[in-house]
Structure 1
Amino acid sequence: MKNQKAVLVILLSNVFIAFLGIGLIIPVMPSFMNIMHLSGATMGYLVAMFAVAQLVMSPFAGRWVDRFGRKKIIILGLFLFGVSELIFGLGESVPVLYLSRILGGFSAAFIMPGVTAYVADITSLKDRPKAMGYVSAAISTGFIIGPGIGGFIGEYGVRLPFFFAAGIAFAACILSAFILKEPLSKEKLAELANNQAQSNFFYDLKKSLRPLYFIAFLIVFVLAFGLSAYETVFSLFSDHKFGFTPKDIAGIITISSIFGVIFQLFLFGKLIDLLGEKKLIQLCLIVGAVSAFLSAVISGYFAVLAVTCFVFLAFDLLRPALTTFLSKAAGEEQGFVAGMNSTYTSLGNIVGPAIGGILFDVNIHYPYLFSGVVIIVGLLITVIWKEKQFSQSLAK
């Protein structure tokens, strides 16, 4: 048990560092956008390129997690993330920025399936919701500290946060190589690899359409679609409409993330016990949709802060609720499910940011209205998610 907790801490640290690196750059993106003379559409395309790369690599990453082991894939993901941030910080042209986002997408495709499968391997079904809540909390905590550090470092240079992100990613990569141990035996990995030899990407994609998984994967897609459109333009919207500084943006994201983390750490498990995964998912979608619409009509720092707190809370609880369900339904197919989870997330992240960036150039309010509509679609999808089917999924 003591060793399990130590390993979990290391895994959470890896996720935290990865998202700390992502959070670092948020406050400086408007300034970076102005320096590089980038349009809102180009910013959206950069985010979408990240998602395209993640989409292409995710099916392979999910299979490689089961074939080569969790540890190797996690280490590879951290290394690629460091390289990606380094290239972005050095980039002087849009093609170089695209290259950085491609490598970043590859890194995301490796890190999250590797960590999710590793956590599932070392936890029981009873403890898994709490562990997945911790993973989501680590993600949010990275965003809490990241923008604060990024806003501070950005005062000394717009590109410095990217170099700092690269440095901590390489440090995490080295530490994981020496400390983490592969949770599965060579025999078990060989067995999983043998099972995979009888399948391919199209087979996996067809399998994801089974009732056991499909509705949950569809909600994952809608979540990524709506949330990415919202997040892509948040710092740009705050800068263009209100004139918020990088420190102002960092403050909003930091406080909102703290709000979400408190719920994740202390109330997520209790909410799952009280409501169950389905009702919690529906409640989060309702809160997310209302908050997205409000974002388009509010004004003032504290109003933006309040609404953003509820947006972050909704999605910070929704993410682990979906991941917990899929992990429970996966059984021994943790790599497959984690990979397809990443695949559907990537599909949403491709279209959402691109449309969000285009809509931002037309009217800065449109991305928020668009996100609200998409989230409502996700809510309607859950209505056809029958309780009997859901219970059967968890029982398998």
Structure 2
Amino acid sequence: MKKPIKDQKMVIFILLSNVFTAFLGIGLIVPVMPSFKDVMELSGSTMGYLVAVYAVSQLIISPFAGRWVDRFGRKKMIILGLLVFSLSELIFGLGTHVSILYLSRILGGISAAFIMPAVTAYVADITTKEDRPKAMGYVSAAISTGFIIGPGIGGFIADYGIRMPFFFAAIISFLAAISSSLILKESLSHEEREQLSSNTTNFFKDLKKSIQPIYLIAFIMVFVLAFGLSAYETVFSLFSDEKFGFTPKDIASIVTISSIVAVIIQILLFGKLIDKLGEKRMIQLCLIIASVLAFVSTVITGFIAVLIVTCFIFLAFDLLRPALTTFLSKTAGNQQGFVAGMNSTYTSLGNFFGPALGGILFDFNIHYPYLFAGIVLIIGLGLTILWKEKSNEVSL
């Protein structure tokens, strides 16, 4: 039943906690990467693959998970996803061979593929048309916060052992599954789920539609955002450890402070900046800042300099994501489900290629990942010149 957000704060809180927990898993590994790399004698490319395999497994499972969410129900898929996530983190914490670590990350990606569409669909089911954009904005904020703050949480807990962050994640996700089972109710009836199952779309048809001019540049921007952030974040801990000798706690401090600053500014200024600049100029400004600072990251020295640069890079990415989401939402019209699904697909692609290429380039030269990320962001900036802010209606 659809109600205003203010009348169902607990349900919204549980849903946001679930998606936050899922995306926390992507970044949780980052601050302990140098320690795992040294202890298990792994290469930088292998560490990049460990992050990338999470995204590619999510990408593969997502089309099927979307259909299962309609067929079996949102609540069941949320709980199953959280339990799979808990298992994946427990396996990583216990793993002593790289193959076990890969298995863990694959399960983690599968869990995210289960949780994300289920939470999004649940929010759409229970919110009014007027409140839905705000609720979806909360979901986007939970994703951004989980993805960025993950390394911070992992770094602080790593003081008690490099495997402790994963045991911590296993516990909180298991508790999230329990709370979801007790508090959430299925948002659709059996008859409504059967109707939805009979109307499911084809993933490849949606993928083909995504390259239409009205969507293409925006989805490329989604890819660029995910690529740039994941490449930067994946290499950041390895880079900071090798070049500056930063500890996991140092890395966690930088990421956490940067995340807090970015979130505060996003909450206070994002709406005003969008009103003044518009989505397109806002996106272009963020791309300029992120690309310039990616290059600057290769020449700075010292904790304070790294902290300042990282703050501004995270801020640029944190403002870029909701600007893109807002643009896509306005463009989508009655195609919100299609746009949400393709947004997830292109994000997964970026989260795969960013860490994978970042790890490979790191083995050649520790500066190459930042330089390459900067180039990709500049290419994205160039593509926005072709971008039309007002779009015509698209045929299905």
User: One-letter code of the match for 2:83?
Assistant: F
Q: How many residues align?
A: 391
Displacement after TM superposition at 1:178 (Å): 1.9
Structure 2 counterparts to residues 190-205 of structure 1, below 5 A: 190-196=194-200, 199-205=201-207
Mapped pair 1:156 → 2:160: yes
Deviations 1:4-42 (A, max 9, x none): 333222222222333445554432221122111111011
Q: 1:127 to 1:288 in 2, by over 3 A?
A: farther
- Distance in 2 (CA, whole Å) between partners of 1:20 and 1:259 is 18
Counterpart residue number, 2:237? 235
Contact 2:22 2:111 in 1 (8 A): no
1:69 corresponds to which of 63, 68, 73: 73
SS of residue matched to 1:27: helix
Partner of 1:260: 262
Please name the residue that 2:298 is paired with. 296
Q: How far apart, CA to CA, are the structure 1 residues paired with 2:334 and 2:251?
A: 42
Q: Distance in 1 between matches of 2:254 and 2:126?
A: 35
- The 1:334/1:71 distance shift into structure 2, 3 A limit, reads farther
CA drift at 1:338: 2.5
Cα distance in 2 between the residues matched to 1:267 and 1:124:
26
Contact 1:293 1:372 in 2 (8 A): yes
Q: Deviations over 1:50-76 (max 9, x none)?
A: 122111112222333344433333222
Aligned equivalents of 1:219, 1:339: Cα separation in 2: 15
Native 8 Å contact 1:140 1:261 kept in 2? no
**Residue in 2 that maps onto 1:219:** 221
**Distance in 1 between residues matched to 2:183 and 2:212, nearest whole Å:** 38
Aligned residue for 2:160, secondary structure, equals: coil
Closer/same/farther in 2, CA of residues 70 and 326 from structure 1, 3 Å limit: farther
Aligned runs of 1:127-138 on 2, under 5 Å? 127-138=131-142
What is the CA-CA distance between 1:203 and the residue it aligns to? 1.7
- TM-score normalised by the chain length of structure 2: 0.90
Matches within 5 A, 1:98-117: 98-117=102-121
- Is it true that 1:170 corresponds to 2:174 in the alignment? yes
Shift of 1:312: 0.8
Q: 2:276: which partner in 1? A: 274
2-structure distance, mates of 1:339, 1:247: 36
- Report the TM-score when normalising by structure 1: 0.90
Residue type of the alignment partner of 2:229: L
Letter in 1 for 2:94: L
How many angstroms does 1:184 deviate by?
A: 3.8
Residue 173 of structure 1 and its aligned partner are, at CA, apart by 1.2
Change beyond 3 A, Cα 1:52–1:142:
closer
Distance 1:222 1:147, change over 3 A: closer
Post-superposition CA distance 1:303-352 (Å, at most 9, x none): 11011011111111222222333344445554433222221122222222
For structure 2, the residue ranges without an aligned partner over 5 or more in a row are: none
Q: 2-side partners of 1:274 and 1:186: how far apart?
A: 46
Percent identical: 74
**Contact 2:222/2:347 (<8 A) preserved:** yes
Q: Per the alignment, do residues 71 and 270 of structure 1 end up closer, same or farther by CA in structure 2, a change over 3 Å counting?
A: farther
Gap runs ≥5 in structure 1: none
Residue 385 of structure 1, aligned match among 384, 387, 392: 387
